[in-house]
Structure formats: structure tokens, C-alpha cells
Amino acid sequence: MADRPARACTNRGLSANGIIEIRPEDPRQPDVQALLDQSDSHFRALYPAESNHLVSADVLGTDRAVFLAARRNGELLGSIALLVIAPGHAEMKRMFVRADVRGIGLGRRLLNALEEVACHQNIARISLETGIKQSEAIGLYRAFGYQDCSPFGDYKDDPLSLFMTKSLRPLTKIDSEF
């Protein structure tokens, strides 16, 4: 399967209840921390501790990371992050959409925004680890051209983990003008 090319993302879009904006934010804000706690609880209910690879807000607040928050009328709806793990290679972290707003395409918009940020930072490849029980997320990643791969970085084989990767096309001058 060919990689889906990275596309420019508007980072703004209408939903039934207003405009949703996706932009970089500090992950140490109280409402973001509450969302990360909700995400942690969700994943801890699904997987044992040794199969959870959660990254703290402090790590996501470093210069090696970009944390994107999706908000509607100031209300935090979801997040996604990029953590550089090697030159030109980043790991996707903290993809999470609140349960009460799932089904409006926010995961797709977050992933588009993340890939756009990655291209602007000269990231040529994004890899991720997700749990095998995350069927919706796995389907989204595959729809975006992510392909199964072996464990990367410090990861070890885990029967409850799926590892995926995608090469990004470099931005052209035309892409960067949008």
C-alpha cells in the first residue's frame, strides 16, 4: 500500500456546535492534564502496566515534542503529540478524543494536523505504538497509510502492542504557502 501523502490542514473546521481549532499548546495546563489523566485511566483499564507506554506532560512539554490540542469554544476535546526520537523520525503519542465527542471526524483532523506539523519540522517518518484493542485507531492509522513495522526505539515485542510507521513526503513550496 502506498503512503498517503501529507496534506495541508486548515486546523479550523466547523462542527455542529461551533468551530474546532487545533493548535500547539502546553500539555501542563490543568485541563490538558485532566484529559491526559482520562486517557491514562482508559488505557490502564484495557492493558497491564507493562503494556502501557504513556508519556508524561513534562516530556511532552520539552523542545523535543509538539503537543496539539483540539478545542471548541475553549473546551478541550482531544489531543495528539509528536515526540522526536531521532533526526527526521518522530513518534506519535497521546492521540485521544473524549468519548462524548467521538464520531465527528476529530481523530482524522488531529492526525492531519500532526502530519502537517511533522512536515514543517522536516520529520520524514512517524512511528507509533498502539494497543491491539484500539480497533478504531488502528483503522484510522491504516487509512492514513501507516503500515505495520517491528518495534522501534526502546520498545520490545509485546503481544498487546501493534507498531506502525509512515514515511512523509517533504513539503513543497506550494504546500508551505497554504
Does residue 5 fall inside a structural domain? no
Does residue 7 fall inside a structural domain? no
Q: Give residue 3's pLDDT band: very low, low, confident or very high (50, 70, 90).
A: very low
Does residue 121 fall inside a structural domain? yes
- What are 32-90's pLDDT values in tens digits? 999 999 999 999 999 998 898 989 999 999 999 999 999 999 999 999 999 999 999 99
Does residue 58 fall inside a structural domain? yes
Q: How many residues does the chain have?
A: 178
Q: Give residue 170's pLDDT band: very low, low, confident or very high (50, 70, 90).
A: confident
pLDDT at 33: 95
Rounded to the nearest 10 degrees, how much is the dihedral formed by the CA atoms of 83, 118, 62, 128? -10
Please report, for the domain that includes residue 166, its CATH number: 3.40.630.30
Total-model pTM: 0.86
- What are 136-164's pLDDT values in tens digits? 999 999 999 999 999 999 999 999 999 99
Q: How many domains does the chain have?
A: 1
CB-count exposure of residue 13 (10 Å: 0-12, 13-18, 19+): middle
Does residue 2 fall inside a structural domain? no
Domain membership of residue 22 as a residue range: 12-176
pLDDT over 60 (residue 17): yes
- What are 83-125's pLDDT values in tens digits? 999 999 999 999 999 999 999 999 999 999 999 999 999 999 9
- Helix (H, G, I), strand (E, B), or coil: what is residue 160? coil
